[in-house]
């Protein structure tokens, strides 16, 4: 039995998220398992570093699978990519020891959320970024983003359907990057709750519009109630970009994504 890890890039526009769901519902995991099972000529179960919502994208979703099939690395990579839909692609693949696990060995996960702040909507980036046509106080949003760093109870920032046992998370960094008309929220944590990043971005957008002051975030945390927070930002601008693992696994370093995502800090 061999274990392989891979990095997957996908556009989530046509999918109901990463995780396999009921029959007839298109997911990234199920789509990939179907193709890998054909290549391996045996059933394949794929384990991802995290889950993504419907419409959310990824530039380097780490996943792994086990198989008895003997194929060269190039065969796995080229064979799978040739049969996958054009909006899903394996970026790299390598054989791993059995103690590697894409989900349970991940020490941190990182997302970026992209907002295009311009009066006119972007046609070429349709569903790739979130369009904010209104004026924003970006300096205030940058200040507010820092309040999410550290260890906090994120009860107010998770969806009602969240299945996590507890809402405390350690956010190692949360910063907003401004580059022309693009605003990119870069956030890394030991784990994320359902809709957590989208709810944080929704809060920052409301602060940017002048609906609340920066200190309002403290009151939202203290409330420990989803109703205390504001809107859930759309999935369009959200990207899973990275999962961190112990150095012993030596996974490849890949770019964070296309130019509107991989902006200078």
Give 257's pLDDT tier (boundaries 50, 70, 90).
Answer: confident
In the chain, the domains with their CATH numbers are: 2-97 (3.30.70.580), 108-241 (3.30.70.660)
Helices 216-223 and 196-208: angle between axes, nearest 10 degrees: 150
3-state secondary structure of 99: coil
3-state secondary structure of 207: helix
Residue 29's pLDDT is: 95
Residue 23's pLDDT is: 79
Strands 57-67 and 88-96: unpaired
**Any catalytic annotation for residue 244?**
no
pTM for the structure as a whole: 0.93
Residue 144's pLDDT is: 96
Give 265's pLDDT tier (boundaries 50, 70, 90).
Answer: low
Between residues 20 and 93, the one the model is more confident about: 93
Is pLDDT of 260 > 80?
A: no
Catalytic residue among 53, 87, 99, 186: 53
Distance, in Å, from the CA atom of 12 to the CA atom of 257, rounded to the nearest integer, reads: 14
Paired strand residues for 151: 170
Q: How many CB atoms lie within 10 A of CB 86?
A: 7
Evaluated on CA atoms 72, 74, 75, 81, the torsion sign reads: positive
Token readout for 98 is: 């059995």
Residue 44's pLDDT is: 96
């Amino acid at each position: 039995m061999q274990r392989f890890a891979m990095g997957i890039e996908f556009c989530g526009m046509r999918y109901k998220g990463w995780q396999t769901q009921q029959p007839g519902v298109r997911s990234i995991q199920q789509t990939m398992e179907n193709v890998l099972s054909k290549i391996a000529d045996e059933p394949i179960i794929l384990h991802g570093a995290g889950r993504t919502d419907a419409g959310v994208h990824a530039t380097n979703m780490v996943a792994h699978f086990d198989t008895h099939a003997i194929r060269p690395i190039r065969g796995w990579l080229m064979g799978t990519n040739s049969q996958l839909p054009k909006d899903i692609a394996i970026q790299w693949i390598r054989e791993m020891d059995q103690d590697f696990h894409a989900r349970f060995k991940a020490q941190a996960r990182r997302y970026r959320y992209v907002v295009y702040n311009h009066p006119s909507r972007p046609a070429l980036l349709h569903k790739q970024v979130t369009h904010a046509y209104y004026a924003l106080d970006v300096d205030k949003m940058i200040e507010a983003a820092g309040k999410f760093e550290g260890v906090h109870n994120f009860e107010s920032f998770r969806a009602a359907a969240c299945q996590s046992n507890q809402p405390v998370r350690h956010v190692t960094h949360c910063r907003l990057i401004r580059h022309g008309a693009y605003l990119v929220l870069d956030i890394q944590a030991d784990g994320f709750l359902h809709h957590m990043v989208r709810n944080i971005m929704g809060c920052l957008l409301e602060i940017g519009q002048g609906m609340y002051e920066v200190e309002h975030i403290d009151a939202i945390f203290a409330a420990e109630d989803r109703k205390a927070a504001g809107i859930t930002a759309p999935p369009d601008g959200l990207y899973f970009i990275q999962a961190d693992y112990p150095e012993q696994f030596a996974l490849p370093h890949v770019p964070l994504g296309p130019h509107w995502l991989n902006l200078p800090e």
